[in-house]
Amino acid sequence: MGQLVMLCSVVVVLAACGTRTVHRAPVAESAPVTSVEAGAVVAPAAQQPPGFENAGKAGYYTVKPGDTMIRIGMETGQSWRDIARWNGLTNPNVIEVGQVLRVTPPVASTVPAATVLAGAKPAAGASAPVAAGSTGTAAPAPATPSGVTTTAVAPATVTATAVPPAQGGAAAAPAEDEVSLIWPASGTVISGFDEVKNKGVDIGGAAGDPVVAAADGRVVYVGSSLRGYGNLIILKHNNTYLTAYAHNQALLVKEDQTVRKGQKIAEMGNSDADRIKLHFEVRRQGKPVDPAKYLPPR
DSSP 60-81: EEE--TT--HHHHHHHHTS-HH
The rounded percent of the chain whose pLDDT value lies above 70 is 62
Please name which of 68, 221, 41 lies closest in space to residue 137, comparing C-alpha atoms. 221
CATH of 189-293, one of 2.70.70.10, 3.30.420.40, 1.10.287.90, 3.30.565.10: 2.70.70.10
Q: What is the pLDDT of residues 46-70, one digit of tens each?
A: 789 899 899 999 999 999 999 999 9
Q: What count of other Cβ atoms lies within 10 Å of the Cβ of residue 268? A: 25
Which range among 71-80, 87-96, 142-151, 162-171 shows the weakest confidence by mean pLDDT?
142-151
CATH superfamily of 52-102: LysM domain (3.10.350.10)
Rg (CA), the chain: 37
Q: What is the pLDDT of residues 234-256, one digit of tens each?
A: 999 999 999 999 999 999 999 99
Residue 278 has pLDDT above 60, yes or no: yes
The mean per-residue pLDDT over the stretch 267-291 comes to 97
Does this model's pTM top 0.85? no
The rounded percent of the chain whose pLDDT value lies above 90 is 55
More confident residue, 205 or 37: 205
Q: Do residues 127 and 134 lie in contact, with contact meaning Cβ atoms separated by under 8 Å?
A: no
CA distance 236 to 155: 36
pLDDT value for 282 = 97
* Residues sharing a CB contact under 8 Å with residue 257, sequence separation 6 or more, in sequence order: 218, 219
Please name which of 148, 168, 147 lies closest in space to residue 157, comparing C-alpha atoms. 148
- In one-letter notation, the amino acid at residue 153 is V
The mean per-residue pLDDT over the stretch 215-225 comes to 96
CA distance 216 to 180: 9
CA 195 to chain centre: 24
CA 91 to chain centre: 11
pLDDT value for 40 = 59
Q: Do residues 240 and 173 lie in contact, with contact meaning Cβ atoms separated by under 8 Å?
A: yes
Residue 226 has pLDDT above 50, yes or no: yes
Q: Do residues 19 and 69 lie in contact, with contact meaning Cβ atoms separated by under 8 Å?
A: no
Residue 154 has pLDDT above 90, yes or no: no
| Domain positions in the chain | 52-102, 189-293
Residue 170 has pLDDT above 80, yes or no: no
Distances in Å between the alpha carbon of 39 and those of 70, 209, 211? 48, 71, 68
Residue 176 has pLDDT above 70, yes or no: no
Q: What is the pLDDT of residues 182-197, one digit of tens each?
A: 999 999 999 999 988 9
pLDDT value for 191 = 96
What are residue 267's DSSP bridge partners? Answer: 210, 250
Q: What is the pLDDT of residues 111-142, one digit of tens each?
A: 443 433 344 444 444 433 333 333 443 333 33
Which range among 37-41, 73-77, 186-190, 226-230 shows the weakest confidence by mean pLDDT?
37-41
More confident residue, 117 or 19: 19
CA distance 22 to 226: 88
* Residues sharing a CB contact under 8 Å with residue 134, sequence separation 6 or more, in sequence order: 105, 141, 145, 146, 147
CA distance 143 to 167: 31
